[in-house]
């Protein structure tokens, strides 16, 4: 039973445009959500997070939106750059010290 | 970057042999985690530790054991390696129950 779902395995966008990565969750106990970025042959790096008491968190070019009623969050990257090409993992946490990860979305930003 | 190292970085071993992977941190963080990453599965938690000698199972713990005798070291042992344990293994650390910081990974091949 997959509690965190990233339904798009891949996404391709043009440099300078917006990238939108989506994530859905099923567990109502989740109260903290994170996005990680992963380059090949490296470990995942923390990108941005959001608490369930908020609906938006922004950090530079990266914004995460949370829609609790729909159990949906999204990561917006504006403007997209070729260096943003990576695999992005959505993760969720609630009631424990464990994170539950989605399967990831591979973003390709074309020059 | 959080001070996390993993050793070895690459290993090839034969089916049936025991294998131990090491995670070392210099951040004095309380929590340590072992994940495996496989195509189509994202990051899956194997075991984690919430203090010296305090460990618990994750979602894919069968065939793995862990030990944490010092705050800075978390060992993952494959008791009798199988081909299904061919994977990339990541260690992560955290001080709180929120953001986790990952090591560079160990690529293990079981032939």
Q: What is the longest distance spanned by two Cα atoms in chain A?
A: 42
Please give, rounded to a whole number of angstroms, the shortest distance from the CA of A93 to a CA of chain B: 8
Instruction: Return the residue of A nearest to B97 by Cα.
Output: A97
> By mean pLDDT, which of A19-23, A59-63, B10-14, B94-98 is the weakest?
B94-98
Q: What is the DSSP letter of B26?
A: S
Contacts (Cβ under 8 Å, ≥6 apart) of A60: none
d(CA A16, CA A64): 18
List B residues 2-41 in contact with A (Cβ-Cβ < 8 A): 4, 31, 33, 40-41
Q: What confidence tens digit (pLDDT) does each residue in B28-79 have?
A: 999 999 999 998 888 999 999 999 999 999 999 999 999 999 999 999 999 9
């Amino acid at each position: 039973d997959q509690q965190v779902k990233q339904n798009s395995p891949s996404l391709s966008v043009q440099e300078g445009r917006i990238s939108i990565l989506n994530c859905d969750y099923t567990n109502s106990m989740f109260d903290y959500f994170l996005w990680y970025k992963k380059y090949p042959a490296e470990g995942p790096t923390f990108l941005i997070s959001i608490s369930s008491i908020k609906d938006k968190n922004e950090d530079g070019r990266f914004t995460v939106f949370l829609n609790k009623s729909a159990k949906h969050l999204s990561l917006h990257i504006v403007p997209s750059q070729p260096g943003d090409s990576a695999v992005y993992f959505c993760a969720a946490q609630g009631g424990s010290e464990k994170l539950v990860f989605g399967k990831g979305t591979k973003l390709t930003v074309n020059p | 970057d959080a001070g996390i190292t993993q050793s070895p970085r690459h290993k090839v071993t034969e089916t049936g042999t025991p294998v131990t992977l090491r995670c070392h941190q210099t951040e004095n963080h309380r929590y340590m985690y072992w994940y495996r990453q496989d195509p189509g599965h994202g990051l899956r938690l194997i075991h984690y530790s919430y203090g010296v000698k305090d460990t618990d199972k994750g979602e894919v713990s069968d065939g793995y054991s862990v030990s944490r005798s010092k705050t800075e070291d978390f060992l993952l042992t494959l008791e009798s390696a199988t081909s299904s344990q061919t994977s990339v293994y990541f260690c992560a650390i955290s001080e709180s129950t929120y953001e986790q910081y990952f090591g560079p990974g160990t690529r293990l091949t079981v032939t």
